[in-house]
Chain A
Amino acid sequence: KAGVTQTPRYLIKTRGQQVTLSCSPISGHRSVSWYQQTPGQGLQFLFEYFSETQRNKGNFPGRFSGRQFSNSRSEMNVSTLELGDSALYLCASSLGTGGQETQYFGPGTRLLVL
């Protein structure tokens, strides 16, 4: 079974631009969670989608948004990029039901904002 895939793997943007990252979950997984990882803050939860609905959201500004499609693929968007948005963005998929939320991570998208 193929793992979680994320595209692109690397991205360089300038302040003020916007960016869209993509995540394809493991086949059969309906939940996709997004995290931001930085050296100073560690892994921080952005949001989670299940069956095209956002079920949970972390403490990030509204510039961070996401969506999920009917095939469970998910995208996250960051608008008006700031230098501090430079990070590794990780998505993780899980079944999303049954109470055991074991998550499997993709390789991440490394975003550099200049």
Chain B
Amino acid sequence: GQQLNQSPQSMFIQEGEDVSMNCTSSSIFNTWLWYKQEPGEGPVLLIALYKAGELTSNGRLTAQFGITRKDSFLNISASIPSDVGIYFCAGPGGTSYGKLTFGQGTILTVHP
């Protein structure tokens, strides 16, 4: 089945630093989604990408849909303490209705 490999698994950074994480897939995705999850809560959608090569920003967050359609990355600029959480990439499973395949997640810790 489809798999998403997300890296790094965890990051410990200082406030103000930029962050970059990425996801690669063994198969082509038509949509890439990036979510953030905080303890005890559900994932919150950050950015949705629908076209190969697409670059989309949401405030300090920027994500890109890779040209090969097998990868995506998320950048966070000038990190702040409230950026702490787990970031997941996800994509729909081909023609499989309603099923998202998720990366393993990147745990982000920001030191003030």
The answer to whether B98 touches A102, judged by C-beta atoms less than 8 angstroms apart, is no
Please report the number of residue pairs spanning A and B whose Cβ atoms sit closer than 8 angstroms.
72
A58 to chain B, nearest CB (A): 7
Q: Write out the residue numbers on chain A whose beta carbons fall within 8 Å of the beta carbon of B59.
A: none
The answer to whether A55 touches B45, judged by C-beta atoms less than 8 angstroms apart, is no
Per-position contact with A for B13-36: 1 when CB-CB < 8 Å, else 0? Answer: 000000000000000001101010
The answer to whether A102 touches B45, judged by C-beta atoms less than 8 angstroms apart, is yes
Select A56's contact among B31, B43, B99, beta carbons within 8 Å: B99
Whether B100 is near chain A, meaning CB under 8 Å from some CB there, is: yes
The answer to whether B99 touches A33, judged by C-beta atoms less than 8 angstroms apart, is yes
The answer to whether A101 touches B98, judged by C-beta atoms less than 8 angstroms apart, is yes
A-B contact pairs, 14 of them (CB 8 A): A4-B42, A6-B42, A33-B98, A33-B100, A42-B105, A43-B43, A49-B98, A55-B98, A90-B42, A92-B42, A96-B97, A103-B45, A105-B35, A105-B42
